């Protein structure tokens, strides 16, 4: 029996939260510090939040799932309200996302607020990509719809084209993973070629090409991966590393997410993005039970994946 679509939907939502919670304690650490102190992060630990807690990445993914479930699509006017309703500053939000919320509270429309960040350029932080799993699974079978929905889910806080492009590439990786049968060998070269088709900027095109070259060379040295692909808070210094972590360890959810977190830097977000792709590929059964048992709000997160799947299959 093949892995069910339902399992893949739930796997991508829970995969986001698991990667986020696993990386949370070492966010901002260098890969060498993580290696010295822990060897590797293979268990949930306490960090700036208690063991098994998720951060803003998952809180915002929840907001997107709630909007799709309530509205049947990504309605940006509704989404920004849900984001602000759910906002818990203890979860470590990006600086400019917090600024956008403050401006909206003062009465500025969201599109103006989002655009005003970074001298009118908008943010290219990875905040749009980190939360995209609900959109990606919901539109996994229709690229044009996916692109439109990613745009709407991103621009409420991330107006910079690179912020949105990062979310689109991450969403495309998740959508491709949903479509693949995990019992067959993954053709990583073909996967990278498909991602290249959605790249719009030279910045991302060069990074995605580099992913292909590095995989062909079999590079798994995390210091080389951080140097070449990054471990930062920008979309283009984290989305490529998350995709690389998945493709290097496509056959194991656990190994992919542990590797992503080992890169350090924005470890929770890189972990969340790798978890979203790998969870969409393997389905929820591949996520270690010992991690799920520790995860905050496990039942609710699972129910969001289930509801997205119900809505998707009902609308067919
Ligand atoms: N120009 C220069 N630097 C920029 C620009 C720009 N246009 N846009 C982003 N940056 P932010 P997020 C840099 O604040 O995307 C949290 O830990 C700048 O250094 O929009 O919502 C989350 O969990 C800025 O501080 O945040 C995520 O892991 C940084 O990118 C992460 O932060 C992040 O952009 C990003 O969340
Ligand atoms: Mg975070």
Tokens of 177: 């993973």
> Which ligand is closest in space to the CA of residue 21?
2
For 10, the domain range is 5-42+49-315
Looking at residue 314, its pLDDT comes to 87
Q: Is the CB of 234 under 6 A from ligand 1?
A: yes
**C-beta atoms surrounding 300 within 10 Å:** 11
Q: How far is the CA of 1 from the centre of ligand 2 (A)?
A: 36
DSSP label at 125? B
Q: Is the CB of 97 under 6 A from ligand 1?
A: yes
Residue 316 has pLDDT above 70, yes or no: no
List the one residue out of 168, 17, 155 whose CA is nearest residue 80: 155
Nearest residue (by CA) to ligand 1, atom 1, is: 118
Q: Domain count for the chain, please give it.
A: 1
Could you give the CA distance from residue 66 to residue 69 in angstroms, rounded to a whole number?
5
Could you give the CA distance from residue 315 to residue 121 in angstroms, rounded to a whole number?
37
Rg (CA), the chain: 17
- The average confidence (pLDDT) of the chain is 97
Tokens of 151: 């745009």
Q: Is the CB of 59 under 6 A from ligand 1?
A: no
Instruction: Read off the pLDDT of residues 220-246 as tens digits, 9 standing for 90 and up.
Output: 999 999 999 999 999 999 999 999 999
Q: How far is the CA of 36 from the centre of ligand 2 (A)?
A: 23
Residue 37 has pLDDT above 50, yes or no: yes
Q: Is the CB of 96 under 6 A from ligand 1?
A: yes
- Buried b / exposed e across 67-88, counting CB within 10 Å, b at 16+? bbbeeeebbbebbbbbbbeebe
Q: How far is the CA of 26 from the centre of ligand 2 (A)?
A: 11
Instruction: Read off the pLDDT of residues 55-114 as tens digits, 9 standing for 90 and up.
Output: 999 999 999 999 999 999 999 999 999 999 999 999 999 999 999 999 999 999 999 999
Instruction: Read off the pLDDT of residues 173-221 as tens digits, 9 standing for 90 and up.
Output: 999 999 999 999 999 999 999 999 999 999 999 999 999 999 999 999 9
Output the domain CATH number for residue 211. Answer: 1.10.4080.10
Q: How far is the CA of 57 from the centre of ligand 2 (A)?
A: 5
Q: How far is the CA of 55 from the centre of ligand 2 (A)?
A: 5
Q: Which of 84, 121, 127, 162 to mutate to test the pocket of ligand 1 (most atoms within 8 A of CB)?
A: 127
In this structure, are residues 91 and 49 in contact, taking their beta carbons and an 8 Å threshold? yes
Looking at residue 283, its pLDDT comes to 98
Looking at residue 1, its pLDDT comes to 43
Q: Is the CB of 127 under 6 A from ligand 1?
A: yes
Q: Which of 87, 125, 201 to mutate to test the pocket of ligand 1 (most atoms within 8 A of CB)?
A: 125
Mean pLDDT of 282-304: 98
| Sequence-distant (≥ 6) Cβ neighbours of residue 309 within 8 angstroms | 5, 6, 9, 10, 137
Q: Is the CB of 7 under 6 A from ligand 1?
A: no
Looking at residue 3, its pLDDT comes to 81
Could you give the CA distance from residue 10 to residue 302 in angstroms, rounded to a whole number?
6
Q: How far is the CA of 71 from the centre of ligand 1 (A)?
A: 28
> Which ligand is closest in space to the CA of residue 233?
1
pLDDT-based confidence at residue 2 (cuts at 50, 70, 90): low
Looking at residue 110, its pLDDT comes to 98
Instruction: Read off the pLDDT of residues 109-165 as tens digits, 9 standing for 90 and up.
Output: 999 999 999 999 999 999 999 999 999 999 999 999 999 999 999 999 999 999 999
Residue 280 has pLDDT above 80, yes or no: yes
Q: How far is the CA of 163 from the centre of ligand 2 (A)?
A: 16
In this structure, are residues 294 and 52 in contact, taking their beta carbons and an 8 Å threshold? yes
Nearest residue (by CA) to ligand 1, atom 25, is: 95
DSSP label at 189? H
Q: Is the CB of 94 under 6 A from ligand 1?
A: yes
């Amino acid at each position: 029996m093949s892995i069910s679509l339902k399992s893949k939907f739930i796997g991508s939502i829970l995969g986001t939260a698991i990667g986020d919670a696993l990386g949370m304690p070492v966010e901002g650490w260098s890969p060498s510090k993580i290696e010295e102190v822990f060897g590797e992060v293979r268990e949930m630990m306490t960090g700036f939040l208690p063991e098994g807690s998720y951060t803003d990445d998952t809180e915002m993914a929840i907001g997107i799932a709630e909007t799709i479930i309530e509205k049947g699509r990504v309605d940006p006017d509704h989404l920004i309200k849900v984001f602000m309703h759910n906002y818990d500053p203890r979860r470590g939000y990006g600086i400019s996302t917090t600024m956008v919320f403050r401006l909206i509270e003062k009465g500025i429309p969201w599109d103006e607020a989002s655009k005003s960040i970074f001298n009118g350029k908008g943010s290219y932080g990875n905040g749009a990509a980190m939360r995209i799993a609900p959109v990606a699974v919901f539109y996994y079978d229709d690229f044009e719809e996916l692109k439109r929905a990613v745009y709407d889910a991103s621009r409420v806080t991330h107006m910079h084209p690179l912020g949105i492009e990062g979310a689109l590439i991450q969403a495309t990786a998740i959508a491709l993973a949903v479509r693949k049968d995990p019992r067959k060998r993954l053709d990583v070269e073909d996967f990278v070629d498909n991602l290249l088709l959605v790249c719009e900027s030279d910045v991302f095109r060069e990074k995605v090409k580099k992913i292909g070259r590095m995989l062909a060379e079999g590079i798994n040295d995390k210091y080389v991966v951080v140097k070449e692909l990054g471990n930062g808070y920008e979309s283009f210094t984290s989305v490529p590393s998350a995709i690389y972590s998945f493709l290097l360890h496509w056959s194991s959810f656990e190994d992919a997410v542990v590797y992503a977190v080992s890169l350090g830097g924005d470890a929770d977000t890189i972990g969340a993005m790798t978890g979203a792709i790998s969870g969409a590929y393997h389905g929820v059964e591949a996520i270690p039970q010992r991690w799920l048992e520790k995860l905050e709000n496990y039942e609710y997160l699972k129910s969001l994946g289930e509801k997205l799947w119900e809505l998707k299959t009902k609308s067919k």
